[in-house]
């Protein structure tokens, strides 16, 4: 058995990764040096090149992949571990992006609103989404049979997907201070033009590429860790077998002539 | 399915009536939450009254976790789940029965807590029907979501620590809507409270339906 060569890193993944990193680099360069400061917000508005893009990845790309993959796993005709691994990869990468959404939002909120955190609808529902995803990952880490784990995880992902709209709707009703004169105002798109518009668009492409890359890498880690688990099982089985044969062999070739007939099996049992 | 549900609920409640875990552990715990939060807020009646609805629902949420853990623990004895599965009882019926038993215990608990906030937090519910309807709807949602997540964590060694992190974020809308509706009921402002029922109704219905559909597959997975 070849311990390392069975899953090679696919070439397209490396290409996507390099493209993503280069695109993020360009976004940073354009966003910090080339684009002009915003008329109202000044340099603060530069966060608009990363924050909405990261939030989009966290909510729609990661959420969409996780839900679709979980549905495909639960559907008996398409039930393979591919979908299970894809779902957990999407949730884990999504959790990273949800955390980044909260962090970048906070960085913007401190100078704009004067507070690191406001109990605003979007912030609160994103934070709850992150907590729900952490719960999913906690469930995932519990050691149990892979098929059991996969089915439970798929159900948990669907329950989260059902809960997120309710959470969003209720929090929306509870408190909405977010809009009104912020850079995320729907009217924003009317004001954006020139280099700002291009940088804004590039940010979306860059973080989407990074998402695909991380998803691929995380999927590969999942495959490799499953393989390691299988191999460890094979190795320990082989060890038990060889211990057994050694003991039997030792008992059979024992120089003591008066060994009781039941001796060897008792030793094997130990 | 309904007959099965009655059987399972009867079984759970009978076990509860004999063991008295809810009575001697969950109810005192919920009252303890009230007292501890009162210590944290301080003796001023103003902040106390404002916090009362939220504290009431926080106590209900924490007690939901305990009640669900107890409900799962009943089935965790040797081969109990297999026995239940092999008995030919409809999985949807098992779900409904367990949820009904949990819900009934939560309703009794809320009566005690109602008295608790009235005494400790010095508040009075002015719109009684709104508070009652809120509690009933919220209880259906809490019991269904709780039992569903209980099934998700059943049979795992770490289920006691896993369940709160799984279920509490899910129950956040109930906390939000319940607190707001209760606030309206305390202030005697029924019209501002009824809107929040529109969150509790879909929450209860969605988790009821999902529970009936998904409890079977989850049981097989366990």
Confidence check: pLDDT of A270 > 70:
no
Phi and psi angles of residue A35, each rounded to the nearest 5 degrees, phi first: -70, 150
- What is the mean predicted confidence (pLDDT) over B96-118? 94
With a pLDDT cut of 70, the percent of chain B lying above it is 99
Per-residue pLDDT at B214: 87
Residue B162 near chain A (CB below 8 Å): yes
- What is the mean predicted confidence (pLDDT) over A131-147? 88
Kindly list the domain boundaries of chain B, sorted by start residue.
2-221
Per-residue pLDDT at A182: 44
Are B222 and A147 an interchain contact pair (Cβ–Cβ within 8 Å)? no
- Give the number of C-alpha atoms closer than 13 A to the C-alpha of residue A252, restricted to the C-beta side: 7
- What is the mean predicted confidence (pLDDT) over A6-33? 86
Confidence check: pLDDT of A261 > 70:
no
Decide which of A194 and A212 is more confident. A212
Extended beta strands in chain A, E state: none
As for the ipTM of the complex, it is 0.83
pLDDT-derived band at A259 (thresholds 50, 70, 90) equals very low
Closest Cα partner for B60 from B109, B14, B22? B109
Q: Other C-beta atoms within 10 Å of A195: how many?
A: 13
- Give the closest-approach CA distance of B152 to chain A in angstroms: 6
Per-residue pLDDT at A25: 92
Task: Name residues whose C-beta falls within 8 Å of residue B195's C-beta, 6 or more positions apart in sequence.
Answer: A173
- Give the closest-approach CA distance of B18 to chain A in angstroms: 32
Phi and psi angles of residue A192, each rounded to the nearest 5 degrees, phi first: -85, 140
Bridge partners for A42 per DSSP: A38
pLDDT-derived band at A1 (thresholds 50, 70, 90) equals very low
Per-residue pLDDT at B149: 92
CB B106 within 8 A of CB B63: yes
Average pLDDT taken over every residue of chain B: 89
pLDDT tens digits along B32-87? 999 999 899 888 888 888 899 999 999 999 999 999 999 988 888 777 777 887 88
pLDDT tens digits along A22-76? 999 988 888 888 877 776 777 777 888 888 889 888 888 999 999 999 999 988 8
Confidence check: pLDDT of B220 > 80:
no
pLDDT tens digits along A77-103? 888 899 999 999 999 999 999 999 999
Chain B partners of A135 at a C-beta cutoff of 8 Å?
165-166, 169
Kindly list the domain boundaries of chain A, sorted by start residue.
15-179+193-221
pLDDT tens digits along A161-174? 888 888 877 777 77
Joined together, the tokens standing for residue A65 give 């992949």
Which whole-number Å values give the CA distances from B24 to B30, B67, B163, in the listed order? 11, 12, 22
Q: Which residue of B has its CA nearest to A127?
A: B169
Residue A228 near chain B (CB below 8 Å): no
Joined together, the tokens standing for residue A216 give 């691929």
Phi and psi angles of residue A42, each rounded to the nearest 5 degrees, phi first: 70, -140
Residue by residue, DSSP assigns B73-128 as HHTTSTTHHHHHHHTT--HHHHHHHHHHHHHHHHHHHHHHHHHHHHHHS----S-H
Residue B222 near chain A (CB below 8 Å): yes
């Amino acid at each position: 058995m070849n311990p390392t060569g069975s899953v090679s890193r696919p070439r397209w993944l490396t290409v996507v990764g390099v493209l993503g990193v280069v695109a993020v680099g360009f976004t940073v360069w354009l966003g910090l040096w080339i684009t002009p400061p915003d008329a109202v917000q000044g340099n603060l508005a530069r966060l608009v090149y990363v924050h909405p893009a990261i939030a989009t990845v966290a909510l729609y790309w990661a959420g969409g992949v996780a839900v679709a993959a979980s549905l495909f796993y639960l559907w008996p005709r398409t039930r393979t571990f591919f979908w299970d691994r894809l779902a957990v990869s999407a949730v884990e990468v999504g959790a990273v992006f949800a955390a980044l959404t909260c962090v970048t939002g906070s960085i913007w909120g401190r100078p704009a609103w004067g507070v690191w955190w406001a109990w605003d609808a979007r912030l609160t529902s994103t934070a709850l989404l992150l907590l729900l995803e952490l719960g999913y990952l906690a469930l995932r880490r519990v050691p149990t049979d892979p098929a059991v784990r996969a089915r439970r995880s798929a159900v948990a992902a669907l329950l989260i997907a059902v809960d997120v709209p309710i959470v969003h709707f209720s929090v929306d009703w509870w408190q909405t201070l977010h809009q009104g004169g912020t850079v995320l105002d729907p009217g924003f798109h009317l004001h954006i033009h020139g280099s700002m518009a291009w940088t804004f668009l590039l940010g979306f492409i860059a973080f989407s590429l990074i998402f695909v890359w991380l998803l691929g890498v995380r999927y590969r880690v999942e495959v490799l860790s499953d393989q390691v688990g299988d191999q460890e099982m094979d190795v320990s089985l082989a060890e038990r077998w060889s211990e057994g044969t050694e003991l039997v062999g030792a008992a059979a070739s024992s120089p003591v002539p008066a060994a009781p007939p039941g001796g060897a099996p008792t030793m094997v049992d130990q | 399915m309904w007959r099965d549900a009655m059987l399972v609920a009867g079984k759970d409640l009978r076990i509860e009536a004999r063991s008295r875990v809810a009575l001697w552990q969950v109810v005192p715990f919920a009252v303890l939450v009230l007292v501890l939060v009162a210590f944290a807020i301080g003796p001023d009646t103003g902040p106390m009254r404002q916090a009362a609805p939220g504290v009431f629902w926080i106590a209900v949420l924490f007690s939901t976790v305990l009640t669900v853990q107890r409900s799962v623990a009943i089935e965790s004895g040797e081969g109990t789940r297999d026995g239940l599965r092999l008995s030919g009882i409809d999985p949807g019926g098992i779900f409904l029965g367990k949820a009904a038993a949990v819900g009934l215990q939560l309703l009794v608990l809320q009566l005690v807590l109602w008295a608790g906030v009235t005494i400790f937090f010095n508040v009075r519910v002015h719109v009684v029907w709104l508070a009652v309807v809120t509690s009933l709807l919220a209880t259906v949602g809490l019991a269904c979501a709780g039992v569903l997540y209980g099934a998700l964590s059943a049979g795992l060694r770490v289920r006691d620590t896993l369940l709160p992190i799984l279920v509490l974020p899910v129950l956040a809308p109930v906390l939000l809507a319940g607190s707001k509706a209760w606030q309206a009921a305390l202030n005697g402002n029924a019209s501002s409270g009824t809107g929040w029922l529109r969150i509790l109704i879909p929450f209860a219905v969605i988790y009821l339906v999902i529970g009936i559909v998904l409890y079977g597959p989850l049981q097989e997975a366990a």
